[in-house]
Amino acid sequence: MKKRRVGKLIALFLGVFVTVFCCTLFEGQSLPVFSETEDGTPLLILSYGDISSTESNKSVVSLDTLKSDIEFLSEAGYVFINSADLIAYKQGRTTLPEKAVWLTFDDGFESVYTLVYPLFQEKGIKGDVFVVGSYSDLYSGNLSEKQGGYLSYTQLKELSDSGLFEIGNHTYALHEKKGIDGRKGVKQLRGEDDESYRKMLMEDILTLQNRLNETIYKDSRVFSYPFGVYTEFSEEILRDDLGFLITLTYDEGMNYLKEGSSLFALHRYQRDGRKETETYFKKIL
């Protein structure tokens, strides 16, 4: 009996050893940072789409709701950060507050400039906007002839120069649920070989990086996946070939960060504009 117990203990020890070894072996790979054990500093990331002065629906949040969200989070002790703070944390140049929240705005809607920007100036808070390059190309002509739409590069430069917004990459022209070849976001097509996929993805993302360099005089090191579609291979390309430091998904959950944590495949909550502030946050905090 004693021999059996010793054998079981040895097997258990070996199992723990192998688990730890594997975690060490794969450290630095593009694995989700989310931890079920809640070990580390919590980071709440919220994703907003368009902001409206009046309307609220599943994908559009009213300005009043955004104001209410900010007030609620402030009163709950949350400190607003952006990607620059997170990169500084990763590089060991700063620490994260005990309760950090990161507001992100996807697709580059013009409402970020007309409605969110004045609010951020008033409140002294910051966040990130993720732009689709082809949309900004379209809206960088004579804006007086356009009623709403997407951010121009002139507006993006002002947002960037304000220090309140970091500008993130949301692809140049891959923000389609089903593109001309049937692709959804950055999804690799069935039968598409790895090198063809790598070439396609790099060309698209670098097109926007070059646009940003030419217009706001800096590119982005933060990437938001259209529709949240991503794979280990896309993460590898973004990290190793393109030099991104952070990627964002639509996988819901709190992030828990500590020294050495990956900043790839971070989780976000998509804000549903139909839900009141307290009701919404009661379910996720």
**Percentage of residues of the chain with pLDDT beyond 70:** 84
Instruction: Find the mean pLDDT for residues 26-51.
Output: 68
Asked, for residue 62, whether it belongs to a domain, the answer is yes
Which residues 6+ apart lie within 8 Å of 219 measured at CB? 169, 209, 210, 212, 213
Residue 2 covered by a domain? no
Q: Six-digit token pair at 281? A: 């946050």
Q: Which residue has the tokens 């790979």?
A: 29
In contact, 184 and 228? CB cutoff 8 Å: no
Q: Band of the pLDDT at 141, cuts 50, 70, 90?
A: low
What is the per-residue pLDDT across 77-130, written as a single tens digit (0 to 9) for each?
999 999 999 999 999 999 999 999 999 999 999 999 999 999 999 999 999 999
CATH number at residue 85: 3.20.20.370
In a domain, 98, yes or no: yes
Residue located via tokens 């971070």: 266
Transcribe 204-271 into DSSP letters.
Answer: HHHHHHHHHHHHTS---SEEE-GGG---HHHHHIIIIIT--SEEE----S-EEE-TT---SSB--EEP
Phi, psi of 254 (to 5 degrees): -80, 145
* 25 part of a folded domain: no
Domain that holds residue 189: 31-284
Q: Do the domain assignments include residue 9? A: no
pLDDT at position 8 is 42
Residue 25 has pLDDT above 70, yes or no: no
pLDDT value for 6: 41
User: Is residue 181 situated within a structural domain?
Assistant: yes
pLDDT band at 38; cut points 50, 70, 90:
confident
| HSE toward the beta carbon, residue 97, CA cutoff 13 A | 13
Host H or E run for residue 282: helix 277-284
Tally of domains in the chain:
1
Mean pLDDT, residues 131-136 taken together: 96
- The answer, yes or no, to whether residue 11 has pLDDT greater than 80, is no
- Whether residue 139 is contained in a domain is answered as yes
- Judged against a pLDDT cut of 60, whether residue 10 lies above it is answered with no
Percent of the chain with pLDDT over 90: 79
| 15 pLDDT more than 90 | no
Q: Is residue 5 part of a domain?
A: no
